[in-house]
Each structure stands twice: as structure tokens, then as C-alpha cells.
Amino acid sequence: MTEVRTHNKYTIGWVCALSVERTAATAMLDERHMDLPRRPNDLNTYTLGSIGGHNIVIACLPEGTIGTTSAATVVKDMVYTFPAIRVGLMVGIGGGVPPTARLGDVVVSVPDAQYPGVVQWDMGKAEQGGKFRRTGALNKPPTLLLTAVTKLKTDHKLEGSKIAQYLDDIQTRYPHSTAKFLRSDSLQDVLFKASYEHVDKQDRDAAEDEEGKDWEEQESDNEAKDACKHCDKAQIVKRKPQDMRVHYGLIASGNQVIKDAQLRDRLSKGLGKVLCVEMEAAGLMDNFPCIVIRGICDYADSHKNKAWQEHAAAVAAAFAKELLGYVEPQETRLVMERAEDLKVLNWLTLIDYGPQHSDYLQRRQPGTGQWLLDCETYKRWVADPGQTLFCPGIPGAGKTILTSIVVDNLEDRFVTDPTIIVAYIYCKFNRKEEQKLEDLMSSLLKQLAGNSPSLPPVLKELYERHALKRTKPTLEEISTALRTVVATFARVFIIVDALDECQVADNCRTRFVHQLLRLQTQQGISVFATTRRMPDIEKELSNSSIIEIRASEEDIGRYLKSAIACLPRFIADRSDLQDEITQTISRVVDGMFLLAQLYFNTLLDKDNPKNLRKALQDLTTGSRSSEAAYNSAYDDTMLRIEGQLKGQAARAKEVMMWITCAKRPLTKTELQHALAVEIGEAKLDEDNMTHVQDLVSVCAGLVTIDEESNVVRLVHYTAQEYFENTQGRWFPSAHLTLTATCTTYLSFEAFAGGRCQNDEELEKRLEQHRLYQYAARHWGDHARVARSCEQIVGFLQKTAHINASAQSYFADRGWHLGGPPNYIEATHLAAIFGLEDALFAVWNLENRDARDSNGRTPLSWAAENGHTKVVKLLLETKEVEVNSKDTEYGRTPLSWAAKNGHYEVVELLLETEQVEVDSKDNYGQTPLSWATENGHYEMVKLLLETKEVEVNSKDTEYGQTPLSWVAGNGYIKVVKLLLETKEVEAAKNGHYEVVELLLETEQVEVDSKNNYNQTPLSWAAENGHTKVVKLLLETKEVEVNSKDNYGQTPLSWAAENGHYEVVKLLLETKEVEVDSKDTEYGRTPLSWVAGNGHAEVVKLLLETKEVEVDSKDTEYSQTPLLWAAENGHAEVVKLLLETKEVEVDSKDTKYSRTPLLWAAKNGHTEVVKLLLETEQVEIDSKDIYNRTPLSWAAENGHAEVVRLLLETEQVEVDSKDNDGRTPI
């Protein structure tokens, strides 16, 4: 117990329920470690140690507590104190289910066809007739442990188990205290028939009175002797003796002790061969990736005794130790790293287009869309990198389904090549809140980074820079990171559906297209985009290859033929009518797939051939304009809906009202709950809920369900446009209804207890009350439109309810527990949503300047959100502190309003003449700094006119002035306002005119450095702004080789990011140190550019004759050739080999791998070919794991590389690695 480790070194969590289990677990440790301090509020006690290379935390339930809830609490605190734990073991004793499991055996939870290894037998609902239906599902054990179990089972069959060996070991190590852990003759395996109950002749009442000793103590004393001495021995089941066995299968977990053999057997029969019953595992499986290991100590019947407990605990612990021997320590670290990676990726954005893509692909009719894949233009686009394929089409032509077909085709085509990646975005008219430019770029970055072998360092750096401050990366940071990640792939396809549905606010759509084209110019990405015909989009993509999207008659015919089975029965035997339907609709829809669906739906209620033909004839006389055709089709559909039964028609309108007017898409269950709410009631009556399929069926085809994303939506964006234009006609009181529904839901008595105490409770609340998150987030948005609703005031008078809803509101905005305020008042909530009428209504009940738990006032919230009327109302009271600062960020109402560009709010605040115009927040930023950073020109002008701002103030985080912030983001009008300031950093984002203006003032320090010691030249070079670099160089006032805190020069940054023109400019100065090494990794510009695959820049550097071609970095001694080979940059490898100055077989110092080994491992076929052609490589070289290029290529499925290596006839096919594995 000498070495002290940190909390983050422990990756295995071992959980016990009883002290005897903890003793057995501790005895299995190879080494004990010193204790570490617990985090605040963690009530667990821990035993720390190691087994093999694994650092382990052992925790036990408090004495006297049992059950799933107690186990969950222990684990929650354990992973809080030891955050690096990624794999868990629940190890201890349990009740065996005969005939399979016997006393002293081990049972391990592994999934079967129906259950994930553990099932909570007492979780579910009682149903009519006394039946019990289990609900919910638990998680499987982690794959890492299941694969270890698979290998261990094989070795057990061949070599036997090590459990006996480990038991002998603890006898040797602890000879005086472990006798009970070993199996002895005194342990008798006795099983009574299930129908026979335990018999005890003792008088329980007398026993309880005897010297105060209760029955449980008496029973415990007797167990040491013969607990069943009064039982009928004739009732014992006769069985042959057998040695200890390990069983793999199902464990039943619950919150009550089972001492009933018949109940035990019923559970086993009902669930399907249960092996063991216990009380803790179900509390862990959903939130703790673990496997459950139980030693059998009794048969869960009335004959339970404690004689076997120590031995059962010992065999379970011994098995756990043996299992850990099959888990490589580096594998647990990889699990931890993957979890950390996912945390970073989800921080970047939670938006996931995968479910949408899957849903669209499932809607494809077999055979449709093949015409596009067979088109020569499409084939050329796939073959030639750096091209754009632009696919405009009329509304409803099937563009989205075709997009999903293209994504599927590309992913299938390149599935075996990890260097080629496909990223995609489906723009949606009703998801504008999550499709701002930063969201779109973040989604692309997340998709690419998530498919990299490991999380790219640039993304880790972004996370570390922003996470603690709870800020998000800027657009420029996202774009720079995206360029860096794109460079790590050989080929990148970016697919964008429905560009026309991308929002136009803040010029988002045009800027997004510019970002893609810029990325294409710099990195050679391939872009595929669909859209309605829009002049601005067509202009931007005018140089692209074009395929017009129109639903072909063949594809429409396929759809209609598959759908005809849904029509009335009289059509089934009439092929002439079927042909007439197909031909007529295919002809009149004019390439609009959606219109074919709508027209087809008009035939569903036709009951004879004459009516059918009349309906078809009516279709041929309609308008040929797509907009008019759709409007007419939707009008007709609504008339059909109104012609239904009264209740059906009303329900259909309710469904479409919610879908049309909701602030975001609703899930199936959210919609069901919304329609089941009875205004003014205190709870939801589940008997008032309608099946979702019945809700859809009354909507005459206008509503559909995305099964993958679980969302109910209108069939097409043209339907959304139709209802938005006709809302006053169909849903005149929509927002009043939605407000009343949401506030009623939020007022349910289920939430009278107020806030949840932790994340788990909140997640459970949201799971049980499906509309709650939507109602909490958006009730005020609907109320603002509705203006008045009597339910609002009633809701705001319930303090517990409004705090509960606020908790969910902030969680939905991405704030987690501990960040947002944990207490607010009604005035805060009214101010957040900008509800002046509601605010006025609760005046007399609340302090008008009340502070929430984060120190924020109603004025602060209203100012941040730009609610001018509420701000004015509050200021007029003369009862509010204008300069109040919150405790979280130290920001005033003026600071919040300036940051978000709320000009009228700032005007009101300045008019009070009490406001501190230049107040600094906790990061040293002023209102002016925030306004300039975000480019709010009029705001900046307003603040400057006060003459009360310090224009040169620097923040404490980055040391940046207002001018450096605005110049970095390129807001030139704002820069002009600040020209008198003598500040510098406009070069960062390449805004040439801004830099030029600054230089003309002759007041700037051209080579000034920020907190990272980066100069304007360094920033401009890093981001590839050629004109800015040229301008700065022409001043003759810049240090061309200046190094930042990482030791990188402008040349190093430009080379790393592949900025050819910038590198060329810097080299032409004849002043640059071409081979300078950075201080963090010891890499030269050539090393950086080779690793990122920028062949043209490599040529430039090699042509200088001033580079050490085979220089090794200081981290792992990797050469430029090693970097290029590892990342699959064949053209760069070829250039380096042609110099004849490289050691072709050099090895790195981390894994001892050569360029050939790296290329083979990663499947870079062209690189492998080039290296083999040199005839200078050791083809069978081994790394630190004794693995060869052939071994790695075979494991990773790189068939072409395997073939190339075998053809050399210089590989040892049967060579074994450290684990004894051959390539085969």
C-alpha cells in the first residue's frame, strides 16, 4: 500500500451488497492501494486495489440496506468520485434456481434471445384477470466483458477454471481468516421439493421474549448448526454430487427477498429458464455498464440458511478475478476514451440525422431511384473528387428519398475503406431552431470526427477551451476544426437535402453554401445537394454538374402498383381499373411524387367503378401549376376530413393543429398526451389517450409517422405551408388551446413536489410524463401569441410547479443540473418568456426585483431575451436594481442585452442614467466587448456615444480588446467605429478590408501578441488568408518566424492546414526557418503537412532543399514518411520516397511500427504497394505486441493488403503475437 494513485486511474467498479462479499472481493486483490478522499456528499466507503493491470474500486451497500434503489445510489456516488470508471462488476451471492444451479456454483448474467442478462421481475403493471405485465428493458452487459466471457468459456472447456487456484491463493495469503471461504465437508448441498415448506418447532413468541433476543437472532444462531433438523428428510430431492460449475444466462432481480420455492419456479418458467434470483442488479444495469456474477448460497426457498454464504461469495469473487484476466487494461482505457469522446461529440451538437435517414430509406419503394445511380453524370461525380452535383427539382418530386438512396449507395460502395467518409444533412422547414449555420457545420464536424479512429485533437482542444465556461465554439473555430478533420480522410462526401428549406435568417443558407464551396476549394470535398428551384441557390451552384429531379413515370408506377392493395376490394380483380389508376395518376402528377400520393388517397373511399372513374376524370381537369395543384389537393383533402363522422373530423383538426403550431416536431407519445389533456384537470387520464395509429388514420394521409425518429409530422413541407397560410381558417384559436393544454399539464398534482433532486429523477419524470419537456420549454411561447389565458395565472401561483417546470426548461436548453438556477419565482418565469400581462397579474404576490438562486432578477432575464415591454414595465416601477449582477457570470442586464443585440432594451437601460455602462463580468468582458464580438453595429455605436466606455479594455480570459473580437469575426462596419483605438487582431479571420483600414491608421502594433503569443500574421497564416498575409508582410514590421506558446511559426500553421498560397508567400520572403520544430511535439512544417496529406505543399517545401526530409518528432520519433503512411496519403509517400533521403523502415518509439506496418494496419493499399516496390522494407516486422503487417491487415479485414503481402512470399503466415494469435 505504498503507491498513491489519482481518482482518474481507476477504471473498474466492483459493487457488493454484503460485508461478506466485500471481504471476498478484497481478498482477491493482487495489491491494496492507499485510500483517496471522497467527493462532497459521497457517503460510500471504498477499498482500492489492483488485479493484473486493472485499478479497481470496491464499494459495498451500507450495512442493513438491500435492493435495487440502494445499489443504484452506491454506484451513482462511486462514479461521481471515480469518474474514469467505465466497466463494472456486481459480484456476490444469490439464490439458485434448480435443477441447473447448485450450491457453490457461479451464475453470470449474459443476454439471451429475449432478455439482456438481468430482468427486473417485479417491474411492470397489474392487468385485468390478475396478470402481471413486465414493462421497460434493462441494458446488456458491455461488449468488452461479453467478449471476454466468450474467450474464458472456451478456455474453461479446454483447460478448466482457475477459481480453485485463486481460493488456494487466499488461504495462503490469509491463513487465519479465510477458512469459511473454502469448501468443506460441513457444507451440505440439500434441496427440498418445491412444494415442501420449512418446518421449525420453536415457539417464536417465547424466543422473542427470552432475554430480549428476537426471532432473527435466534434463527441466525441455529443456522450454524442444522437449520432444517425438523424438516422431513423424505422430501429431499435426490441428486448425484457434482463439482462446482459456472453457468451463463438469465438472472432475475427485484426489490424483495424470495423465500418461496413455488414463486421461484413460476418466475423461472414465466421468464424462460432463470438461473439465479437476487436483489441489486436491476438497480445498476441501466446506468452502469456491468456484468453480474453470483455465487449460489441457497435455493431461494423457505429453507434458506447462511452456511454457504462465505464460500459462495468467494467463488463469485474468484470468477470475477479470472474474468478480468481476459480484459486487457488498455481495452478499459479505450472504453473510457470512447465515452469521453462521445461526451465531447454530444457537447458539440446533439443533432443526429441518422434516424431521419433510416426512416426515409425505409420509405423507398424497391427499384425506385435506380435511374439516378445509373446516370453517367452521377457516376462521374462519384469518380472525380472535388466536384458538386446539384439536383434541383419541383416540390414533391421525391428529392429526399433520392438523397437517402445516394447516401446509402455511397456508404455501401465505400464500406470497406475507412479513409472515405460520407456526412449528410436533411434540412427541414420545421427544425429551423436546430439548423442555424453553426448547427449545420457542427453536425458535419461531429459526423466526421465521430468516424475517425480516435477523437481528433483539434476537437478536444475546442472542448477544453469552452466546456468550463459553458460556451460554444464560434463559426470560425468550427470551420477551422472541420478543415483539419477533413484533411485526415482521403475522400469526403457531403450530402445536403432540401437546401431550400434551410433558413434564410442571418443569410444562413447562402453562408452555408459558401462554407461548403470554400471547403471544396481547400480540401477537395465532393458535394451533393438537392433543392427546389431557387434563383439564389442556382446562382451559387451555377458551376456544378446538374441532374434535374423529377419522379419518373416508372417510379410513380411502382409506387401505385404496390399501393393498390389498399384500395377497395372491387379493384383487386379488375386489372383494367388498376391500369387506369396507374396510367391516369402517373400522367397528371407531372413528376410530383407527393401529388401521386395525395391523388391516390382520394380514391380510398370510392366503392364502385363509376365513382372511381369520375374521381380519376376530376384529376385530369385540375391546375398544372405545382402550387395551385397542391393547394387544391389539400383543400379537397380537408373537405374529405370534414365529411367524416363529427368526432373523427374534430380529432383530425386537433392533430394537425398541434403538428402545425408546435414549436418543434412532436413524438408519438407527446402528441397522445397533448390530445388527452382535459383543461383544468389535475392529472392525465390514460383512458383518454387515443392510439397513435387511430390519430393518423383520421387525417386522410396528411399525417405520417417517422418510425426511426418516433416523430409525427405532416406528409410534406408543402402541407406545412398550406396550413400556415390557412391557419385562421382551420385553427383560429390554436395558441390559446396550446397554452391552456401546456399550463394544465405543468399544473398536474404529480409535480406538486417541485424540482427533482438529481438527473436520474428528472429523466424518470420526463419518461413518465412525455409532454412535460415540451410544455415546460414552450408554454410561454404559445402564451405570448395567445396574449391571455386564464390557466396562466393559476399556474404561476404554484411555486413548486413553476420551479419544476423551470428545471425542465433549462435542461431542454442544454443546461444541466448545477448550472441553471435551482429556485425561481413567478416573476422570473414571466420575464423569461416576455409575458407582461402575466407579470402584471402576479405583481402583488412577488418581489419585483427578486433574485433567483443564481442572483438573476426578472430584469436580467427580460433583458437577455429582448423583451422590451417587460423591461419597460420593470423599470417604471422604480423598484429594480439596474446594475444587479448574477453570481454565475457577474453580468448585468445591460451586458446580457448588449451581447444579444437587443437595441431597444439597451436604449431603455441607458435612459435610466443609473446604469454602469462599462461594468466587467467575471471574465473581464464589458457590454461593449460583447456587442463588438457579436457584430452588433448599432449597439456599439450607442455605447460609444455614451463616452463612458473604455475602448481598449482587455478581457481576462484571452487578453482581447473589443476591436480584436470584432476584427476576428469580420464585422467591418463595427471596425470603422473603433478605428481610433490602436488595437490589432483583425487578421484572424481574413477580413482583408478590416486589416487594411487598421494599417492605414498607422496606430496599430502590427506584430502584437495575444495570450497565446500568436501574432496577426500567425492567425492569418493558420486560417489561410493569403491577402492578409501579403498585406502584413509588406509592412516589413512583422517577425516572420515568431513562435507562439506551442512553438509553431506562421509557416508551421500554414503548412499544417495545407494553405499552399500562404506557404508560397512565406517562402518567398527568404526569411523563414523552413525546418523549425514546434515545442509541443517537435514536428517540422514538413511533418505536419505530410501527416495531413497536402501534396502540393510538400512539393513546395521539398523544392527549398532546406528541409530534413527524415526528421523525427520528439514525441514518438515519427518521420514525415511515417505520418503520411499511417494516414494513407499515397501521393505524399511517393514524393518522400523519390527524394531517396528517407529511412523506409524507421520505427516509432510508442508502438515500434514501421510505415509499412501502419499502412497495412489501416488498410492503405496504395501506400503498401509503394513501400513494397522500394524492396527496402522488412515485410514481416513486428511491433511491441509481436504483430506483423499481415496480422493487423487480416484482423481489420483489409483483403487487398493481405493479398499484396502474401504475394511477396516473405511473410510468416503462422507467426504468433503476444497473445498467441496468428493472422488467421
Tabulate helix, strand, coil % of the chain (nearest 5).
50, 10, 40
pLDDT, mean of residues 1097-1114: 94
Residue 1006 pLDDT level (bands cut at 50, 70, 90):
low
Can you list the domains of the chain with their CATH numbers? 7-195+236-327 (3.40.50.1580), 352-541 (3.40.50.300), 918-975 (1.25.40.20), 984-1108 (1.25.40.20), 1121-1224 (1.25.40.20)
Q: Give the distance from CA 1072 to its chain's centroid.
A: 44
Check residue 37 and give left, alpha or beta (phi > 0: left; psi -120 to 50: alpha): beta
**pLDDT for 677 beyond 90:** yes
Give the span between the Cα atoms of 204 and 1052, in whole angstroms.
85
- Alpha-carbon separation of residue 216 from 225, 412, 537, 636, 684 (angstroms): 15, 66, 80, 77, 45
Q: Supply the DSSP string of 391-419, one letter for each residue.
A: EEB-TTSSHHHHHHHHHHHHHHHTTT-TT
Residue 287 pLDDT level (bands cut at 50, 70, 90):
low
C-beta neighbour count of 250 within 10 angstroms: 24
Q: Supply the DSSP string of 1020-1031, one letter for each residue.
A: HHHTT-HHHHHH
**pLDDT for 204 beyond 60:** no
Residue 316 pLDDT level (bands cut at 50, 70, 90):
very high
Report the predicted TM-score, pTM, of the whole model to 2 decimal places.
Answer: 0.53
pLDDT, mean of residues 694-708: 84
C-beta neighbour count of 913 within 10 angstroms: 7
**pLDDT for 3 beyond 60:** no
Is residue 855 within 8 Å of residue 887, measured between CB atoms?
Answer: yes
- Alpha-carbon separation of residue 1106 from 1042, 1071, 1086, 1109, 1198 (angstroms): 19, 12, 11, 9, 38
Greater pLDDT, 594 or 208:
594
**pLDDT for 1067 beyond 70:** yes
Residue 624 pLDDT level (bands cut at 50, 70, 90):
low
Lowest mean pLDDT among 298-307, 691-700, 969-978: 969-978
Average of per-residue pLDDT values in the chain: 83
**pLDDT for 982 beyond 70:** no
Greater pLDDT, 534 or 31:
31
Give the span between the Cα atoms of 930 and 1102, in whole angstroms.
45
Give the span between the Cα atoms of 681 and 802, in whole angstroms.
17
Is residue 2 within 8 Å of residue 149, measured between CB atoms?
Answer: no
pLDDT digits (tens, 9 = 90+) for 387-407: 999 999 877 778 888 999 999
Predicted local distance difference test score (pLDDT) of residue 497? 93
Predicted local distance difference test score (pLDDT) of residue 812? 64
Q: Which residues of 1204-1215 are buried (b: 16+ CB within 10 A; e: fewer)?
A: bbeeeeebeeeb
Greater pLDDT, 489 or 1013:
489
Residue 988 pLDDT level (bands cut at 50, 70, 90):
very low
Residue 980 pLDDT level (bands cut at 50, 70, 90):
very low
Give the span between the Cα atoms of 1125 and 1166, in whole angstroms.
10
Lowest mean pLDDT among 176-185, 539-548, 890-899, 909-918: 176-185
Under 8 Å CB-to-CB from 476, ≥6 apart: which residues? Answer: 968, 969, 988, 989, 1023
**pLDDT for 278 beyond 80:** yes
Only one residue has cell 384559436, namely: 733
**pLDDT for 815 beyond 80:** no
